[in-house]
Copies of this chain bind each other. A is one copy, B any other.
Amino acid sequence: MSSAKATPVSPLAPTSVPELPPIGGVGIATAQAGIRYSGRTDVLYLAMQPGTQAAGVFTRSKCPSAPVDWCREALAREGARALIVNSGNANAFTGSRGRDAVALTAKIGAEAAGCRPDEIFIASTGVIGEPLDATKFEGVLADCASRTETGPEAWAAAAQAIMTTDTFPKLGTRTATIDGTTVTINGIAKGAGMIAPDMATMLSFVFTDAALPQVVLQTLLSAGTQTSFNCVTVDGDTSTSDTLMLFATGAAGNAPVTDPGDARLSGFRAALDDLLIELAQLVAKDGEGARKFVTVNVKGATSNASAHRIAMSIANSPLVKTAIAGEDANWGRVVMAVGKAGEPADRDRLAIWFGDVRVAREGARDPDYSEAAASAVMRESDVSVTVDLGLGDGTARVWTCDLTKGYIEINGDYRS
């Protein structure tokens, strides 16, 4: 958060920032509300036309932030008219004052947008345990509402406004057709960035001009999350504020589709899933201290769920992640991570690859294994680890980054 400490841009950042087209029915403004620091943009206000439908998935933490509680309740009523995101203060672990703060934010937002408070969605990121002074939104949100914009610069500003310790903005776009009508999907995300005493917060917001009811949006978003954000990990530490929301304004005017399984949605579903994966990968590529982007593939497990747990055990293992940071094809640590996952595994059937170099098979070192070939794989900035358990058809794929001294520096520095 502090401007005094600039972290260098991740070496895994994309070489260019995509230009996002307008989404019919969406207007964007950013502002400086002085939530924690003065002189920096800390508010995103995003207005949506009447009739906009919303869906969301949230942290599974038993200690969620006040905005997460608010969004869950607001989703129970239909309709969304504005999204308000602030940085500087996560409004988490703030007790009844936190609940009062989101209620006041929604009231101020509703007056600005001309809607009911429960049509306002709120996300906060920043320090936790500090009361959020929501009176700072007074005047600011009404001003935002009066000057919303729709072009690529507005989307870039939106992605920038929600950054905390992210080293690059995360945004992407896709198009698809629904029953012959072209629709657009834009998404922005912020990554797992922490600096003492701030809190990791993964936020992502996706917007489309498609006309789709809430039940369809929620079904597609929940399913898409399983293969995107739920497959990414930086350090295994789950935020109190994780929020992923999908808003559909309906401006594209496509034919109504009410069944999430309708075949006319196949193109939209594929485009949404693809965008969610892109955004999730960008989060891993901006993991604290990351120097390598890591894909973990597991196959041959007894089920997909079992494969996923084994893949996460590998992706969260500090020994595997430090080995990758050291460019060491240390498959012994992969064996260890498979073994500790608690899932069915047969040591003597395991095969392991780094990239396309098989280093182990049938529970022992591959006799044809070339240390030089494996080392070449490990020197790349994108490294894949593949495990075949040889037991069944279960597969999974997850993404992470390596564990470097940069992570310790960012998270272990003295607070004062």
Are the C-beta atoms of A360 and B319 separated by less than 8 Å?
A: no
Whether B404 and A364, one on each chain, are in contact in the complex, defined by CB atoms closer than 8 angstroms, is no
Q: Is there a chain B Cβ closer than 8 Å to A166's Cβ?
A: no
Query: What's the nearest-Cβ distance from chain B to residue A258, in Å?
Result: 35
Q: Which residues of B contact A327 (CB under 8 A)?
A: 414
* CB pair B332 A128 closer than 8 Å: yes
C-alpha gap A347/B91 in the complex (Å) = 13
The bracket for how many chain A residues form the interface is 35 or more
**Smallest distance from the beta carbon of A375 to chain B beta carbons, Å?**
8
Docked complex Cα distance between A179 and B96 (Å): 59
| Chain B CB within 8 A of A64 CB | yes
Q: Which residues of B contact A330 (CB under 8 A)?
A: 196-197, 415
User: In the complex, what distance in Å separates the CA atom of A200 from the CA atom of B318?
Assistant: 12
The answer to whether A338 and B63 touch across the interface, beta carbons within 8 angstroms, is yes
Q: Is the CB of B326 within 8 A of A196?
A: yes
Verify if A11 is at the interface (C-beta below 8 Å from B): no
Least CB distance, A369 to chain B, in whole angstroms: 10
Residues of A within 8 A of B (CB): 59-64, 92-98, 127-130, 194, 196-200, 235-240, 316-319, 322-323, 325-333, 335-348, 350, 360, 362-365, 375, 403-405, 407-409, 411-416
Are A93 and B318 in touch, CB under 8 angstroms? Answer: no
B336 pairs with A200, CB closer than 8 A: yes
24 contacts between A and B (CB under 8 A): A60-B342, A61-B339, A62-B339, A62-B347, A63-B338, A92-B335, A93-B347, A93-B350, A93-B360, A95-B362, A95-B363, A98-B364, A129-B331, A129-B332, A130-B365, A196-B326, A197-B330, A237-B319, A318-B318, A318-B407, A326-B412, A326-B413, A329-B415, A404-B412
